[in-house]
Amino acid sequence: MKTQVLGIKIDDVNMEEALNIVQELLKKPGKHYIVTPNPEFIVAAHEDSVFTKILNDADLSIPDGIGFKLIGKVKNKVTGIDLMEKMVELAATKGYSVGFLGAMGDTAQKVAQIFKSRYPNLKISLAESGGDAFNLTNLNISSTDILFVAFGHGKQEKWIVDNLSQIPVKVAMGVGGAFDVISGKIPRAPLWMRKIGLEWLFRLTIQPWRIKRQVALIKFLWLWALG
């Protein structure tokens, strides 16, 4: 079920429903992309009409963020990193190829190695940092069913929309800092904190600089209150 939060379309789906949509996208002709809006996305889109259009034109827009539940606009919460892991599992089971693009240094390669160890049958077409990714002439992407892009919110979605038509990719998804977590560079919150919506607090304790980003949640609630 689609809903709108401050002008941004959100698919109020659970994980199973999201995965079903991903499978349908992989079967459909053409190219498709997935976005993972949270309150920070909404605030950024409020000041960026291009980003707003990108979010609203997405084939799947999952409710990634406890803020949407706080205001009572959605029933479900599907985090981008969890959907990414389920999509990798799906790819390994169904024979789809996946690519990992972004983050710093050899993080993407580490992510590929970790998933390959979990799913030996997984087909990996690409594992590259974001260093030259903004220039397609320096990026060699072979045929890929699912491409995960980790350039940070806003940049990654704009890159996907600008380049999807020029690369042999079926479904692309921006995943923010997921590579850093999966590779072990940054620890993830314990499951109990994730279940009650406090993953953001855990991230804040290990990365105090994120306080600037948490201000976005306050601004989001303020924008919502203004109607």
Least confident interval from 66-80, 84-98, 147-161: 66-80
Contact present, 130 and 105 (Cβ < 8 Å): no
Three-class SS state of 38: coil
d(CA 113, CA 108) in angstroms, rounded, equals 9
pLDDT value of residue 37: 94
Domain boundaries, the chain: 2-130+137-182
- Run of H or E including 10: strand 8-11
pLDDT tens digits, 14-71? 999 999 999 999 999 999 999 999 888 999 999 999 999 999 999 999 999 777 877 8
Q: What angle do CA 172, 173, 178 make, to 5 degrees?
A: 140
Phi, psi of 193 (to 5 degrees): -70, -35
Between CA 152 and CA 154 the distance in angstroms is: 6
Residue 199 has pLDDT above 60, yes or no: yes
Residue 154 backbone class (left: φ over 0; alpha: ψ -120 to 50; beta: rest) = left
Report if pTM > 0.85: yes
Mean pLDDT calculated for residue range 70-79: 87
